[in-house]
Structure 1
Amino acid sequence: MQGKISLQNVFSWFFGLAVLTIGILNLVLIHPVPGIVGICLSLLFFPQVNELLKKWFGFVLPFAVKVFLALFIFWFTLGISDLGDVIDGWAR
């Protein structure tokens, strides 16, 4: 795993950082509960956590599940949650 750069790892880092940002924004701007949930969910995307899951539990999340989870989190955050309303308010 050390020194290995793949497209899958790049996307995992991108999704992880994006969901972490959403979690921090929720934590600061909206309410602690969705913020903490977002931060915890962001950990699932990072390759190091995948290694720990494999070591501790013997399984890893498939990349397709990660992509689906990330898209669901983005859809929920921008479409349904209060954070989407805050972002819309800033855009006006």
Structure 2
Amino acid sequence: MKKSASTLIVNTVFGLLFFYIGFVNTFWGNDPFYGLFIILLSFIFFLPIINLIIEKIPQKTLLILKILLGFFIIWSSLGVGELFDKIELMKISFPLPSYESVGKD
């Protein structure tokens, strides 16, 4: 069964979002294995190889599983994972460059 372009775009966007959440939790959290687990789960959303394997699951069941998985990742990242605190730690670790001294020769 062919997937529409909008379905592929939505899957890719959510896959990248969940990959980013896993990346932040891996390097700026107190549990890097949780972040790696989220990264592995994100592959379900945007890898075509996984889609070939999952084609054997009925479409409606797959949609329900992806929605439940997405809610689980967002809930666990925002609630238990303290995602916003980790994003602040990330911003402190990688500050934006200062351009104030450019051109003051």
Match status 1:10 vs 2:6: no
- CA distance, structure 1, for counterparts of residue 80 and residue 36 of structure 2: 18
- CA distance, structure 2, for counterparts of residue 44 and residue 50 of structure 1: 8
The aligned amino acid for 2:51 is N
- TM-score, normalised on structure 2? 0.64
SS at match of 1:79: helix
Q: Pick the structure with more helix per residue.
A: 1
Q: Quick check: 2:24–2:87 contact (8 Å CA) kept in 1?
A: no
- How do 1:43-54 residues align onto structure 2 when only pairs under 5 Å count? 43-48=43-48, 49-54=50-55
Match status 1:71 vs 2:71: yes
CA gap of 1:21–1:72, structure 2 versus 1, over 3 A, is same
Gaps of 5+ in 1: none
SS at match of 1:14: helix
Match status 1:37 vs 2:37: yes
Residue in 1 that maps onto 2:18: 19
CA positional deviation for 1:88: 6.7
CA positional deviation for 1:74: 1.0
CA positional deviation for 1:5: 4.7
- CA distance, structure 2, for counterparts of residue 8 and residue 64 of structure 1: 14
Q: Quick check: 2:25–2:83 contact (8 Å CA) kept in 1?
A: yes
The aligned amino acid for 2:5 is S
Gaps of 5+ in 2: 91-105
The aligned amino acid for 1:9 is L
- TM-score, normalised on structure 1? 0.71
CA gap of 1:73–1:27, structure 2 versus 1, over 3 A, is same
Q: Quick check: 1:8–1:63 contact (8 Å CA) kept in 2?
A: no
Bigger CA drift: 71-80 or 13-22?
71-80
